[in-house]
A and B are shown apart, each in its own frame.
Chain A
Amino acid sequence: MTKRSFDVTKLPGTAVMAVACFVILYVPMAILVGYSFNSGNVIGNWEGVSLRWYGAALHNQAFLDAAINSLILATTASVISTVFATMAALATTRTDRFRGEGTIHIILNQPLMVPEIVLAIALLIIIGQIKQATGYTGLGFLIAAHTTFCIPFAYLPIRARLEGMDLSLETAAADLYASRFYTFRRVTLPLLAPGILSGFMLAFVVSLDDLVMSDFLKSPGQDTLPTYLMSELKRNLTSEIYAISSLLLLLSVLIVAGSWVATRKKD
């Protein structure tokens, strides 16, 4: 047997640890999904494969309402935050530094520097009083809160994309007598699109993921998917919770796969 040549990229034990890492990450999720197909009444008692709990979830009005709330909230908050973040990213890149640019940058990243629970409590104090004073208890408060913490998540990828962009293309368009708006619409925006898309996706997922903000700021009966799951979890652990969790897992797999396909095509 010939001696294998020495490979500098090999470190003893890394492959074992890496496999362990992937096993640790995926086994619990696989078990969760597996049990969601259990036909039995008790989670761990395997009685056969069935879609029973998925059926139960789809006929559960509280779950459906929560799902609709979550979708409305995530869509609205991510659209608004992406638009605002795109504008802010355009304002803070591709130019000499201007007065206050550093301040804007810090303000836009500020929600990332404060623990979510602190922000939730802070908003609870203010929004609680607005609710009392005005009597309004709609989704507006949650939309405002979600938009706020989504802005930095949308801003960072859009800004990164803008910083990597070639300024000379816009100069060329301007040289060819394109108006400022025309240049923006036909040159800047198409080049920026992948950044905007990943910013939007990130904002959408972050909003969908949020439990803390929604839990503290929601009005009675105004559940989102995570707050609904949490309240069910406290009440009673059923296979339906696992079915709903599996649906959420499926949604994230689809979103990740979608964003990989989208960004690869555009790049």
Chain B
Amino acid sequence: MSGPETWRRWALALPAVVVIMLFSILPLGVVLVYSLLTPGDFGNVKWIFSTDGWFSVLFERNIFDDTIGLSGANLGILFRSIVLSIVTTLITLIFGLPTAWFIATRPPAQRNFWLFLITIPFWTNLLVRTIAVQEMIRSEGVFNRILLAVGIIKEPIQMMFSDFAVLLGMTYVFLPLMVLPVYAAIEKFDFRLAEASYDLYASRFFCLRRVILPLIRPGVIAGSILVFVPSLGAYVTPRVMGGGKSMMLGNLIDLQFGQGRNWPLGAALSITLTALVLIALIWYTRITSGRKEQSHD
């Protein structure tokens, strides 16, 4: 394309580009710089170079004998964030895949109604949905009331502020994100292929595993990424459901910038979290573009 036209197009995109550079990319650069400074006495930083922030992501120095050990607290939260995100993705897949299948196999006129039912929670405020799950499992909540009334338990079960609560909350709020892309993939699936496999005496399970799943795989992967990425960076749901007892990375970052008053550590954790998300996204683009290359062969 000619020079002036390129300039015109850049000019047209410029306002959006400038806003994002100023309020997203530049601030992230500052976080990177802050991760390499010394913590200030009352929060903030001193402009003295230090790698302590990065060091304390994984390690801690014993204050008595100055030996270096792995930081149990931080590693625990890092581990919990990854495990809970993976399990959330798996549970939403277990419920989301059949639901997407169910919607895609309704008569076309009915499909919009079922999709509408998935879209409403998707567009509803995240905090409101988290409050709704909280009501189910809090000490005086629905489950405990029912169990007490039936007489199965005498004392309310403490379900809140645990990994279970965080997992339940995240599964609930991210479930619609799984259904929609999987639905889009199944809707495009040509059911004559399943028919052909049944004609060739494939069992239901064999057909599912060797015909249906490979063809709807892109949708399943897209849904998994859409659930995994926000789960890993989740802040609101673990804050309400997990409190101080079951923190995720987002809450640990918040803690370092608040009460912890260790901004460089908070900054290093922020970069770590962003890197984990980017790895997931790069893996996603790798396997999806890899599939396209394969199909060209």
Interface residues of A (CB under 8 A from B): 6, 8-18, 20-22, 24-29, 31-32, 35, 42-44, 81, 83-85, 87-88, 90-92, 95-101, 104, 107-108, 110-111, 113-119, 121-126, 144-145, 147-149, 151, 155, 205, 208-209, 211-212, 225-226, 229-230, 233, 237, 241-242, 245, 248-249, 252-253, 255-256, 260
A125 to B264, CA, bound (A): 11
Q: Are B232 and A115 in contact, with the CB atoms below 8 A?
A: yes
- CB within 8 Å for A113 and B19 given contacts A12-B204, A18-B98: no
Q: Are B135 and A31 in contact, with the CB atoms below 8 A?
A: yes
A253 to B128, CA, bound (A): 13
Q: B250 in the interface, Cβ–Cβ < 8 Å?
A: yes
- Which residues in B have their C-beta under 8 angstroms from that of A42? 140
A92 to B123, CA, bound (A): 28
A42 to B145, CA, bound (A): 13
Q: Are A44 and B233 in contact, with the CB atoms below 8 A?
A: no
**Residues of chain B at interface, number, CB under 8 A:** 86
- Which residues in A have their C-beta under 8 angstroms from that of B124? 29, 248-249, 252-253
> Chain B nearest CB: distance from A200 CB in Å?
14
Q: Are B128 and A148 in contact, with the CB atoms below 8 A?
A: no
B:13-56 near A, CB below 8 Å = 13, 15-17, 19-28, 30-31, 34
- CB within 8 Å for A92 and B135 given contacts A24-B172, A249-B128, A255-B123: no
- Which residues in B have their C-beta under 8 angstroms from that of A18? 98-99, 101-103
Excluding A118-B253, A229-B131, 11 further A-B contacts by CB distance (< 8 Å) are A11-B208, A13-B98, A31-B135, A87-B13, A92-B9, A95-B5, A101-B9, A118-B31, A123-B27, A126-B27, A225-B125
Partner of B105, one of A10, A26, A113: A10
Interface of B is mostly: helix
- Which residues in A have their C-beta under 8 angstroms from that of B16? 81, 84-85, 87-88, 108, 151, 155
- Which residues in B have their C-beta under 8 angstroms from that of A209? 125-126
Q: Are B233 and A121 in contact, with the CB atoms below 8 A?
A: no
- Which residues in B have their C-beta under 8 angstroms from that of A24? 95, 172, 175
A223 to B178, CA, bound (A): 32
> Chain A nearest CB: distance from B275 CB in Å?
10
19 contacts between A and B (CB under 8 A): A13-B98, A18-B98, A18-B102, A31-B142, A44-B141, A91-B11, A95-B9, A98-B5, A104-B13, A107-B21, A113-B281, A114-B274, A122-B27, A125-B34, A145-B23, A147-B23, A151-B20, A211-B126, A211-B127
